[in-house]
Amino acid sequence: MPAADPLKARIRQALADRHSQGLLRHRQPVQRQEGAMIKVDGRLYHHFCGNDYLGLAECDSIRIAWQDGLRRFGAGSGASPLVTGHHQAHHELEQQLCDWLGFESALLFSSGFAANQAVIHALMQKGDLLLQDRLNHASLQEAGHLSPATLKRFAHNDSADLARRLEAAPRGCPKLVVTEGVFSMDGDQAPLAEMRQLCDDHGAWLMVDDAHGCGVLGPQGRGSCAADQIQPDILVVTFGKAFGCSGAAVLCRGDLAQYLTQFARHLVYSTALPPAQACALTEAVRQIQNQQWRRERLHTLSNLLTANLGTQVPLMSTATAIKPLMVGESQRALDLSAQLKERGFWISAIRPPTVPAGQARLRLTLSAEHSEQQILALADALNEVWHAAETE
């Protein structure tokens, strides 16, 4: 008899469970095309679920900056930042981010996921209180679950609940409040001014992950905190969304940056971003600062979509590029997504565990790359599939 293989059995069971719940996921190779289109399996689709909100992933000046960087600095950074992987190009990008966003220090990370893990891991110890919005991104929740600190999750965007939890905490206990600026699956915004005040009143630090706000909101695209005129203790910006690239930065005071340089394991023990990518990001920041028209265009397209949707279509109205279409049941979200695909629109269904049970949705996102015609065609398609679903 061969030996039992308990890991294999576990994997089989987990996959069978996901499948029977209609929650099995898979990846599909896509090819990006001009004008917010993607090609999948040889067919072209209007792309309405990406995170390239400002259309910078296709921007010529950013590609050129990347190519120049490649020529000058080669393919990779060659080491982790504390050895010799921190190049002049990284240094200049960090300086630029500090000037733009108004912080003393910036530290680059290879991803937003890594940055969130690193900061929470380095900062929080046993006995500390970590307060997180219930709907925070998986990278933040995960860091919280792995942390020895006491993790409490407050009701989504609920300052009163946060206040109660801060009041209940022992005095003198280190406290970190963590929120997203713009919530990734809902597109709504945290009450940052209230949260800043509460943190000040209770001696807590405020950490804002502004993955979906930076570039899109605020003067010069400086993000949610600038829009609400507050300064968090820790700001995380990610470059995979509005910046059209990838990577992330943590912005904070100089002493915290120095601390993180010692203790943030995802920074110390990980290869620095390619310097050419830092060059591309420097150009992306310039575009974000100077091209107000990209934000205005996003706003115009958002209004156009809302104006052309039937009142029965439950699209959540947001000030951001994220427009969730609440569906409820996972299978129904999959069906709607499939019907939209038939009509040439690619909008993925978002299901648990990414969102709470019973809150499956289509996460529709807009980009400055979309044309008016694409928006009008999308509105028609949504009205049609929604009407069909209601009259079934």
| Distance separating alpha carbons of residues 282 and 93, to the nearest angstrom | 5
Q: Which range binds ligand PLP by CB under 6 A, 52-60, 117-125, 208-216, 264-272? A: 208-216
Position 333, amino acid = A
* Catalytic residue selected from 241, 266, 323, 370: 241
Q: Kindly tell me the number of DSSP H helices and DSSP E strands found in the chain.
A: 14, 14
* Catalytic residue selected from 77, 184, 224, 330: 184
| Distance separating alpha carbons of residues 128 and 121, to the nearest angstrom | 12
Asked about 51 being catalytic, the answer comes back as yes
CB of 272 to ligand PLP, least distance (A): 15
Largest CA distance in the chain: 69
| Distance separating alpha carbons of residues 364 and 128, to the nearest angstrom | 38
| Distance separating alpha carbons of residues 9 and 111, to the nearest angstrom | 33
User: Taking CB under 6 A as the rule, does residue 355 contact ligand PLP?
Assistant: no
| Near ligand PLP by CB under 6 A: residue from 184, 302, 348, 367 | 184
Mark 134-173 with x for binding to ligand PLP (rule: CB under 6 A) and - for no binding.
---x-x----------------------------------
Q: Which of residues 232-261 bind ligand PLP (CB under 6 A)?
A: 238, 240, 246, 248
Of 111 and 132, the one with the shorter C-beta distance to ligand PLP is: 111
Are residues 172 and 201 in contact, defined by beta-carbon separation less than 8 angstroms? no
Which residues are within 8 A (CB) of 368 and not within 5 positions of it... i.e. 6 or more apart?
53, 54, 55, 293, 294, 295, 297, 298, 301
Asked about 137 being catalytic, the answer comes back as yes
Asked about 370 being catalytic, the answer comes back as no
CB of 50 to ligand PLP, least distance (A): 12
Of 243 and 345, the one with the shorter C-beta distance to ligand PLP is: 243
What is the token pair recorded at 267? 């920074």
Are residues 208 and 132 in contact, defined by beta-carbon separation less than 8 angstroms? no
| Near ligand PLP by CB under 6 A: residue from 204, 211, 273, 333 | 211
* Catalytic residue selected from 46, 90, 212, 370: 212
Asked about 296 being catalytic, the answer comes back as no
Q: Which of residues 78-107 bind ligand PLP (CB under 6 A)?
A: none
What is the token pair recorded at 341? 């695909």
For 164, other C-beta atoms within 10 Å of its C-beta total 12
Number of chain residues interacting with ligand PLP (CB under 6 A) = 15
Are residues 46 and 36 in contact, defined by beta-carbon separation less than 8 angstroms? yes
Asked about 99 being catalytic, the answer comes back as no
Q: Which range binds ligand PLP by CB under 6 A, 12-20, 61-69, 206-214, 294-302? A: 206-214
List residues binding ligand PLP (CB under 6 A).
111-113, 116, 137, 139, 180, 184, 209, 211-212, 238, 240, 246, 248
